[in-house]
Structure 1
Amino acid sequence: MNYIKVVTTYPTGGTLLPNAFVDHYMIRANGEYIKVYIYLLRMVSEGANFSIPCLADVLELTERDVARALKYWEKESLLKISQNHGEIQSIELLPVPGHAKPVLETEDSSPASSAEESSISGAEAIPAMKTLSPSELQKKSEDERFSYLLYVCEMFIGKPLTCSDMNILLYLYEDLSMSCELIEYLVEHCVSNGKKSFRYMQTVAINWYEENITTVDEAKAHSKNFKKEYYSIMRAFGLNQNPAPIQEQYMKQWLEKDAFDLSLIIEACNRTINAINKPSFPYADTILKQWKDNHIRTVEQAKSFYQRQKSPKTFMNANASQPVHNFKQRDYDFDALEEQLLKKQFSDEIREN
């Protein structure tokens, strides 16, 4: 695993948030970016190392979210990222200036900057979300189209919108430049899938923004392609049917929250069938949880993980004069032992539930 060292040339005095950060940077950044920056301050105060997967797990974000946040703060000149062969080696937190950079500052289009950006998990900086006061939101609601959007969203949600909800809608409408029609479809799509949280809708909207989805037809096509991943998982289990709601919950967890690659999920499905000779979403979930705990993100890493367990361990006798007893070496099937462990974990989870 690639561990990243966080350093700084100025004393932090513990996890101390500079006033200039609060006054000029925090208000303009979204919550995920702020969480990452504060955690970096926590790391540097102890001189601790960390990895992107560990940070994602601690903050309950995806690795892509973390990479996006790092790129954002680098663009804001609050940190400097040092890389070697495309991997982050260290992050230096820079002194926070008294004034933030102009919002309209353009992206550096030099070849070096483009290469650096693409190397951080392909992350691109997205517009920061600003928070308006109730009186400012009242003025924004005088926009006829935005006012209609607020009304439609209230109908979908079934309750009045909070200031936080309206700020997120305004972020989609103004900063992400989404049309009212696209936002309306987004809300309808999320609510129909049992998700009424505007924070969840914001996450989906950012994903669409990164995928350059600008119309309802493109969003529907994207959703259809996403469903294809469900059916790929179902086929890996040998199931030729529509997924049940509980099965969709597992797949949403794996694909969206845990951000597992489809190939890795299918590998877990295959190992499930080999282990218990039947499809089981809870059993596959046990495998994927183990891989997540061990920061396994690719099929190659999973195979290497099991291969390391198979590697024989040899011990040198420190005293050559001691008699050596010849014991017959046992051959262990580490795959079988691994399956037994997973079955036990799976059975324990079933009993607990």
Structure 2
Amino acid sequence: MSGPTLADVARAAEVSTATVSHALNGTGRLADATRRRVREVATALGYGARRTPQTGGNLGVAVTTYAGSAWNFLEVPYFARLLTAATATAHAHGYALTILPAARGAETPWHTLTVDGMLLLDSPAGDPVLRALRARGIPLVFDGRPVDPRPEDVWVDNDHTATTREVLGHLAASGARRIALHAGYGDEHYTRAVTRAYEQWCREHGHRTLFLTCDPYDTPGHAFDAVFAARACDAVYTIYDPGGRQVVAAAARHGLRIPDDLLLVCASEDPAYAESDPSVSTVTLRPATIAETAVTALVSRLSPTAPPPTPGALTVPAVLHPRGSSRRRTRPGRQGPP
């Protein structure tokens, strides 16, 4: 295996090859911080070191959406399940797995991180982490379609259009005529794909669109106050894990009964929804299967003998679990003839 070149170090450090040469040779007029960073990048890449083939190694995984804020994605059931399965799959292939923090500050070593390959989750537009990893030539696999995929890119995702249409059709069959979509605080492919599918379905079925922005910290569900007070919707499809609890809290505050007055479906991996009263209908995006598929594809990209994965999308079907919250009960006196 050939080692990294001067140009590789320059791309990874986002400087010119001349700057790299000056930094490594102690020449030129460079800022101390620039000289230090270039040397750190060169060391991390193994520039000048003898490279030998190896089995196994280290994979990295990062959640890079939501502007790099330091949020704890491990508290979200989707990410918790995905990362557990990703770790088990990496270990089964003989790799360690490093889980990077969500923050993208200067202290995060994206330019010097020592990994053989990376799994990126929900990479947004203009992702600086993606840019740094591409510059270093690190093999990548994505959870969720990248914004500007390259011909060689591989990503694992659900068919969000088909899933959204299934959920809306289920709600309509249960009697919903004014369905609100609770989404919109992310800029990843998931949010954009669901929103487009919702708009298209509403146009086809003559329904008015009603968008509500999800705030993960809006525990009382105040985003629903105006809509519920005006009885402006009779069903909600919320595509983030906290949304179902927010709908339930807001509905109780406004005297709306679920499912009699309001139908509800929530995309979530939280098993507590199945135990609530009424039980909440959920969509599972099957994160464990996504993780197994993505890590296996990444390992294949790294293997000198295994066939590389086919570029493009690897689709994992989502599953709708209809429960009490989206099935209207027959009211007393309306059972029909005996």
TM-score interval w.r.t. the shorter chain? under 0.3
Q: With the length of structure 2 as denominator, give the TM-score of the two structures.
A: 0.25
Structure with greater strand percent:
2
Flag the structure with higher helix content: 1
